Amino acid sequence: MNTPPPARGLQAADPQRQVFEETLGQAPHGQRLRGRRVLVVGAGQQRYEGPPPAPLGNGRAIALLCAREGAQVACLDKDAAAAQETVGLINAAGGRALPVVADVAQPADITRAVQQARADLGGLDGLVLNVGIGGPLGLAAQTPEAWDHALAVNLRAPMLVCQAALPQLAPGSAIVFISSTASIRPGTRVPSYDASKAALAGLCRHVAMEGEALGVRANVLAPGPIDTPLGRNASLRRPERAGQRLPFGREGTAWEVAYATLFLLSHEASFVNAQVIVADGGMTAIQLR
């Protein structure tokens, strides 16, 4: 099981004081999503370019936790092997999951994928949109093609998934958009990523407005520094990222993102709608010295 990475740079004392069973994905299983049918878009994970062991990605952790909590899960990813690996982990643990292979940059793929997930699961009542790609660093390096591609994946694709899925979602369903604290303050140095993640909040509010009449909620989760393959690969390319002051002396884990997503999907959050929930250890709200 993955553990939080060691503290780097100037950190708070003893990072382990804020590490729990949930942090490591070791908490007892419940039935918080019993009977639910959840489509997780981005349920595979990026290949880690550094030394092993690879950390768990957000999408995979979300899919695994939804299954542990009683949901049937459709695991959508562009990488067929990554999607199948997530499915294999779920099925080996006694859950039920199926792979859906689609490139969300292609609108026709999205329509087909939603239809496939709904047919294979016998309906849908949960949707997680965990997609995001970067692009060139800085304004000067932007090109129209790179900008359009980033927004096609990070913003257009979630819109098209919701367009296809919202009329099919059963009352009591929930949608969770996975954003980033880069939507709140510039942190990645990638303007296409920051802008597209910020725009998810506006998209979510509209989806929540239309969904309210259908009994469907929609919220945004904005994680901060999380130890994932995507994050570690970014640090390999941009070493200054690894030197930032971290809350509680560590990065978050994908399990912590998964538990926040689980809450928003579950009926425990039945009166939480059209909100942006930040999971960053307080990094964007307090000045860490």
Evaluate if residue 100 carries a pLDDT over 70. Answer: yes
- Are 251 and 3 a contacting pair, CB within 8 Å? no
pLDDT digits (tens, 9 = 90+) for 55-69: 999 999 999 999 999
The dotted CATH code for 34-279 is 3.40.50.720
Query: Positive or negative CA dihedral for 271, 115, 45, 60?
Result: positive
Per the annotation, the verdict on 48 as an active-site residue is no
Whether residue 53 has a cis bond before it, omega within 30° of 0: yes
User: What is the spatial distance between Cα 98 and Cα 74, in angstroms, rounded to a whole number?
Assistant: 5
Query: β-strand 226-227 against 252-253: which pairing, if any?
Result: parallel
Evaluate if residue 103 carries a pLDDT over 60. Answer: yes
- Of 96-100, 221-225, 246-250, the range with the lowest mean pLDDT is 246-250
- Are 2 and 229 a contacting pair, CB within 8 Å? no
Of the candidates 95, 105, 102, the residue with the CA atom closest to the CA atom of residue 117? 102
- Are 5 and 227 a contacting pair, CB within 8 Å? yes
Instruction: Specify the amino acid at residue 123.
Output: G
User: What is the spatial distance between Cα 289 and Cα 273, in angstroms, rounded to a whole number?
Assistant: 34
Model pLDDT, residue 13: 54
Model pLDDT, residue 5: 55
- For the ranges 10-19, 41-50, 188-197, 201-210, the maximum mean pLDDT occurs at 201-210
What ranges do the domains of the chain cover? 34-279
List, in sequence order, every beta strand (DSSP E) within the chain.
Answer: 37-41, 72-77, 96-101, 124-129, 169-178, 217-223, 226-227, 252-253, 276-279
When the pLDDT of each residue in the chain is averaged and rounded to a whole number, the result is: 90
User: What is the spatial distance between Cα 228 and Cα 88, in angstroms, rounded to a whole number?
Assistant: 20
In Å, the largest CA–CA distance within the chain is: 52
Evaluate if residue 289 carries a pLDDT over 80. Answer: no
User: What is the spatial distance between Cα 75 and Cα 60, in angstroms, rounded to a whole number?
Assistant: 8
Instruction: Name the pTM for this structure.
Output: 0.89
pLDDT digits (tens, 9 = 90+) for 32-57: 999 999 999 999 998 887 888 889 99
User: What is the spatial distance between Cα 117 and Cα 73, in angstroms, rounded to a whole number?
Assistant: 9
Evaluate if residue 10 carries a pLDDT over 50. Answer: no
Evaluate if residue 243 carries a pLDDT over 70. Answer: no
* Per-residue b or e along 108-117, where b marks 16 or more CB atoms closer than 10 Å to that residue's CB: ebbeebbebb
Task: Work out the average pLDDT over 226-241.
Answer: 75
pLDDT digits (tens, 9 = 90+) for 145-177: 999 999 999 999 999 999 999 999 999 999 999
Query: Which one from 48, 193, 255, 259 is the annotated catalytic residue?
Result: 193
Residues linked to residue 127 through DSSP beta bridges, in sequence order: 39, 175
User: What is the spatial distance between Cα 259 and Cα 246, in angstroms, rounded to a whole number?
Assistant: 20
Instruction: Specify the amino acid at residue 187.
Output: G
pLDDT digits (tens, 9 = 90+) for 192-201: 999 999 999 9
Model pLDDT, residue 9: 43
Query: β-strand 37-41 against 124-129: which pairing, if any?
Result: parallel
